[in-house]
């Protein structure tokens, strides 16, 4: 019906889905007063569990929730969808090689790309969350040429939020005082969490020095962010879900409503900015404009220290791309 935003969530009966759908139906993603139709997608064996999620959504009596549709047919869900959150993916199992995981997921994102291409509006905004997220987004786009590349992104906002929070903690400040953090590259252990352009209210020293200089970055902060997902698994026995759901809402909320003069990290198609040439989906500093467009922020400081990390994560993404192309 009129004025209702249609949102697809794939993998909606999974861990992240369970944390995410109440946030969306509660207004956290689209903003106050915006009605939402949720289209939840799962594979056939999980449809029973998905019905349970739907029952709980009904039991929340969310005023903004217009309708909930459950389906195992992505093409059905994608018709005229406004926002597409692709969480569902094949999980990494013990003994699985990285290439096997890529192959399983390449097939999923190829099929979803084809479905998106045939039925979705060209204005659809897509965020890929399922791993390997950047390369899954690349595959999706390859098979969805009717959807502009700029409408297909992958999630690195969780990494961005982790970095921001860790800098705040280190400097004993509230997170709202920390500005200008960037995640570069892949949502993987090669990502480069960068504080060179960070500013923190009330701290006049360059933030890199204030937190402890290059040695601290190299030996502590960077590896801690890169391995944060593994630390959560070790502690909880399950991978991050609450913080991932929160980051998905942040990503979409900023994309829809604009960041003003601030910027955030989003994995987007590389366009040559910062020496990262086309062909991969690479996390960049992005400024979003009200209404849903965005641009890669230009002119941030990148030094030799940054270059080394940025090239390493780029190389990993190019290798993933080669692997994906050799499979498809």
Binding site for ligand NAX (CB under 6 A): 10-11, 13-17, 41-43, 46, 87-91, 108, 129-131, 133, 155, 158, 187, 229, 239-241, 244
- Cβ of residue 118: shortest distance to ligand NAX, in angstroms? 17
Q: Are 16 and 25 in contact (CB under 8 A)?
A: no
d(CA 193, CA 177): 18
- Cβ of residue 325: shortest distance to ligand NAX, in angstroms? 21
Q: Are 89 and 131 in contact (CB under 8 A)?
A: yes
User: CA neighbours within 13 Å on the CB side: how many for 166?
Assistant: 24
User: CA neighbours within 13 Å on the CB side: how many for 197?
Assistant: 21
Written as six digits, the tokens of 231 are: 């630390």
DSSP state of 28: T
Q: Which is nearer to ligand NAX, 16 or 217 (CB)?
A: 16
- Cβ of residue 107: shortest distance to ligand NAX, in angstroms? 9
Q: Which is nearer to ligand NAX, 155 or 317 (CB)?
A: 155
* C-alpha distances in Å from residue 215, one per residue of 64, 208, 211, 218, 219: 49, 10, 10, 5, 6
* Residue number closest to ligand NAX, CB atom: 14
- Cβ of residue 141: shortest distance to ligand NAX, in angstroms? 16
* C-alpha distances in Å from residue 3, one per residue of 6, 33, 35, 86: 10, 10, 7, 23
- Cβ of residue 29: shortest distance to ligand NAX, in angstroms? 16
- Cβ of residue 73: shortest distance to ligand NAX, in angstroms? 10
Antiparallel, parallel or unpaired: β 4-10 and 83-86: parallel
Q: Which is nearer to ligand NAX, 207 or 241 (CB)?
A: 241
Q: Which is nearer to ligand NAX, 132 or 207 (CB)?
A: 132
d(CA 30, CA 127): 14
d(CA 32, CA 19): 19
Instruction: Please indicate whether residue 160 is annotated as part of the active site.
Output: no
Q: Which is nearer to ligand NAX, 240 or 306 (CB)?
A: 240
Give Cβ neighbours of residue 216 (< 8 Å, ≥ 6 apart). none
C-alpha of 154 from chain center:
4
Q: Which is nearer to ligand NAX, 15 or 273 (CB)?
A: 15
Alpha helix (H) residue ranges in 8-80: 15-25, 47-60, 74-78
Give Cβ neighbours of residue 272 (< 8 Å, ≥ 6 apart). 278
Catalytically annotated residues: 187
């Amino acid at each position: 019906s009129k004025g209702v935003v249609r949102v697809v969530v794939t993998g909606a009966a999974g861990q992240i889905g369970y944390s995410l759908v109440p946030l969306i139906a509660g207004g956290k993603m689209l903003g106050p007063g915006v009605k939402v139709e949720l289209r939840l997608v799962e594979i056939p064996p999980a449809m029973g569990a998905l019905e349970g999620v739907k029952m709980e959504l009904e039991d929340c009596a969310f005023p903004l929730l217009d309708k909930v549709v459950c389906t195992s047919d992505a093409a059905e869900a994608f018709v005229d969808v406004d926002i597409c959150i692709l969480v569902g993916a094949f999980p990494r199992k013990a003994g699985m090689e990285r290439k096997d995981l890529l192959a399983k997921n390449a097939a999923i994102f190829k099929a979803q790309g084809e479905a998106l291409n045939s039925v979705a509006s060209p204005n659809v905004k897509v965020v890929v969350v399922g791993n390997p997220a950047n390369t899954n987004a690349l595959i999706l786009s390859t098979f969805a040429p009717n959807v502009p590349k700029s409408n297909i992104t992958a999630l690195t906002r969780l990494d961005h939020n982790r970095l921001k929070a860790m800098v705040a903690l280190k400097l004993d400040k509230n997170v709202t005082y920390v500005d200008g953090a960037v995640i570069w590259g892949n949502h993987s252990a090669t990502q480069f969490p960068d504080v060179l352009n960070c500013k923190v209210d009330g701290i006049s020293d360059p933030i890199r020095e204030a937190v402890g200089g290059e040695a601290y970055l190299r030996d502590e902060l960077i590896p801690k962010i890169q391995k944060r997902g593994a630390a959560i698994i070790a502690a909880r026995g399950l991978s991050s879900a609450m913080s991932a759901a929160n980051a998905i809402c942040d990503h979409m909320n900023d994309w829809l409503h604009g960041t003003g003069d601030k910027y955030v990290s989003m994995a987007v198609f590389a366009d040559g900015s910062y020496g990262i040439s086309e062909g991969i989906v690479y996390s960049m500093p992005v400024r979003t404009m009200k209404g849903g467009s965005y641009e890669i922020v230009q002119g941030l400081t990148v030094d030799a220290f940054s270059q080394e990390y940025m090239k390493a994560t780029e190389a990993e993404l190019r290798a993933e791309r080669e692997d994906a192309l050799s499979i498809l």
